[in-house]
């Protein structure tokens, strides 16, 4: 059976191509793309930007300011048309995540969390076709120039909670991790903060299968597992040769953790035996984002910063392969996400990508190559 599967995926490797449909100039440098996870709004997505506004080294003026903008777009998959619905001026955006819909929630409009260059977590809600800020939390007011670097919603909690609360994890440039509680009334409350890394904590993520464990990755090259009940470290992994920049607790495969690093390798781990990775594959350029496809085909969309956007097939975690590459961008490849499918019979894959200094956003369709 394993031989048959490998032959199939080698065949698939020759079959995928990525067709650019739209190219958009975001004006500011683009670094984050998130497709809305709300079933009624899955044709919406946001793009976050990070723009330095300042002076040269000889200037006596104040240091550069990090400003940003969030764009809200709507993509019609049938007509293949994209429209900008709203743009919102903010501090520079480093990460964004849509709140998965809760069945028992008292509101039904999509909610978006952002991490910004002022060290804040901000919450926005779609009102008609606009983004409206409903709450904000400063991670640590005592530190100047703190950047909030990454965020993650606890999706497992959505299966269990009977009220309108949700937990959020955030990492920052001091190496700290914060656990935050959000309520649909718009409240943000920091539950606890702990020091996880000696340098920037680039990434944090909940384990989608273990409600007590979270993962963190830092510029110190370490991957950690923490128990959020005590904020105590359960494991320290030293497999990476450079900073750990992205983490994906696989939503469809229990015990599978994927990591990306500045060392350019995509690694697969069995979370029950984390001493060594199951596999490593060099995707080139450093890896900043990992996104699992909505059709459960074990396709992982990867943002390979100084190379391209690649699609890796990890149906065999011990033998991942690259099955598609997208080379339309000419700058740092930071933001990427799949269009989320609302209908079970919808088998077409679309994706959105963005890059930094060329402030470029692309929408593309993933096709099977025709012989």
358: pLDDT confidence band, cut at 50, 70 and 90? Answer: very high
Structure tokens at 51: 């723009």
Q: Which residue has the tokens 């956003």?
A: 361
Residue 63: what pLDDT?
A: 59
Structure tokens at 187: 């409240």
**DSSP H helices in the chain:** 2-13
How far apart (Å, rounded) are the C-alpha atoms in residues 221 and 215?
13
Summarised one tens digit per residue, pLDDT across range 46-84 is 999 999 987 544 444 555 689 999 999 999 999 999 999
Residue 13 backbone phi and psi in degrees, to 5: -55, -30
Query: Which residues, in sequence order, are bridge partners of residue 293?
Result: none
Does position 6 have pLDDT exceeding 90, yes or no?
A: no
In this prediction, residues 306-328 reach a mean pLDDT of 95
Structure tokens at 281: 């594959």
371: pLDDT confidence band, cut at 50, 70 and 90? Answer: low
DSSP 211: T
Q: What beta strand segments (E) does 213-307 contain?
A: 213-217, 223-227, 232-237, 244-249, 256-261, 265-270, 279-282, 287-292, 299-304
Residue 186: what pLDDT?
A: 83
Least confident of 3-7, 138-142, 221-225, 297-301: 3-7
Residue 250: what pLDDT?
A: 96
Residue 101: what pLDDT?
A: 72
How far apart (Å, rounded) are the C-alpha atoms in residues 318 and 320?
6
Instruction: Decide: 319 and 328 in contact? Cβ < 8 Å.
Output: no
Residue 270 CB neighbour total at 10 angstroms: 16
Does position 194 have pLDDT exceeding 80, yes or no?
A: yes
Across the chain, what does the average pLDDT equal? 90
pTM above 0.75, yes or no: yes
Instruction: Decide: 267 and 274 in contact? Cβ < 8 Å.
Output: no
Coil/strand/helix, residue 158: helix
Centroid of chain to Cα 333:
13
Summarised one tens digit per residue, pLDDT across range 14-54 is 578 999 999 999 999 999 999 998 888 999 999 999 999 87
In this prediction, residues 335-347 reach a mean pLDDT of 82
Residue 1: what pLDDT?
A: 36
Instruction: Decide: 106 and 80 in contact? Cβ < 8 Å.
Output: no
Q: Which helix (H) or strand (E) holds 136?
A: strand 130-138
Instruction: Decide: 247 and 288 in contact? Cβ < 8 Å.
Output: no
In this prediction, residues 198-225 reach a mean pLDDT of 97
Instruction: Decide: 51 and 29 in contact? Cβ < 8 Å.
Output: yes
Residue 110: what pLDDT?
A: 93
Does position 9 have pLDDT exceeding 80, yes or no?
A: no
How far apart (Å, rounded) are the C-alpha atoms in residues 224 and 219?
12
How far apart (Å, rounded) are the C-alpha atoms in residues 129 and 86?
7
Q: pLDDT over 90 for what percent of the chain?
A: 79
Summarised one tens digit per residue, pLDDT across range 97-110 is 999 876 555 557 89
Does position 340 have pLDDT exceeding 70, yes or no?
A: yes
Least confident of 95-109, 221-235, 331-345: 95-109
Residue 122: what pLDDT?
A: 98
Coil/strand/helix, residue 290: strand
Residue 185: what pLDDT?
A: 82
């Amino acid at each position: 059976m394993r031989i048959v599967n490998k032959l199939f995926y080698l065949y698939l490797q020759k079959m995928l191509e990525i067709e650019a449909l739209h190219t958009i100039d975001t004006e500011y440098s683009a670094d984050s793309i998130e497709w809305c996870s709300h079933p009624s709004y899955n044709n919406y997505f946001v793009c976050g930007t990070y723009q330095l506004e300042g002076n040269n080294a000889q200037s006596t003026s104040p240091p550069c300011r990090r400003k940003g903008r969030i764009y809200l777009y709507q993509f019609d998959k049938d007509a293949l048309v994209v429209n900008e619905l709203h743009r919102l001026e903010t501090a520079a955006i480093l990460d964004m995540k849509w709140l998965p819909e809760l069945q028992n929630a008292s509101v039904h409009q999509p909610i978006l969390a952002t991490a910004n260059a002022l060290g804040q977590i901000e919450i926005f809600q779609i009102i008609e076709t606009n983004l409206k800020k409903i709450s904000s939390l400063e991670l640590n007011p005592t530190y100047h120039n703190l950047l909030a670097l990454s965020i993650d919603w606890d999706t497992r909690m959505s299966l269990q909670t009977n009220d309108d609360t949700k937990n959020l994890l955030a990492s920052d440039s001091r190496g700290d991790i914060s656990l935050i509680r959000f309520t649909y009334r718009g409240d943000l409350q920091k539950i606890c903060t702990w020091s996880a890394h000696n340098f920037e904590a680039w990434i944090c993520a909940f384990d989608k299968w273990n409600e007590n464990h979270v993962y963190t990755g830092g510029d110190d090259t370490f991957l950690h597992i923490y128990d959020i009940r005590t904020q105590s470290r359960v494991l320290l992994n030293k497999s990476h040769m450079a900073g750990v920049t992205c983490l994906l607790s696989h939503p469809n495969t229990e015990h599978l953790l994927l990591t990306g690093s500045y060392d350019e390798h995509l690694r697969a781990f069995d979370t029950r035996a984390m001493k060594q990775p199951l596999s490593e594959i060099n995707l080139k350029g450093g890896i900043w984002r990992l996104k699992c496809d909505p059709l459960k085909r074990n396709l992982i969309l990867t943002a390979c910063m100084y190379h391209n956007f690649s699609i890796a097939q990890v149906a065999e975690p011990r033998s991942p392969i690259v099955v598609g590459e997208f080379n339309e961008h000419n700058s740092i490849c930071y933001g990427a996400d799949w269009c989320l499918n609302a209908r079970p019979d919808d088998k077409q894959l679309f994706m959105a990508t963005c890059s930094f200094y060329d402030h470029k956003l692309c929408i593309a369709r993933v096709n099977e190559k025709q012989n």
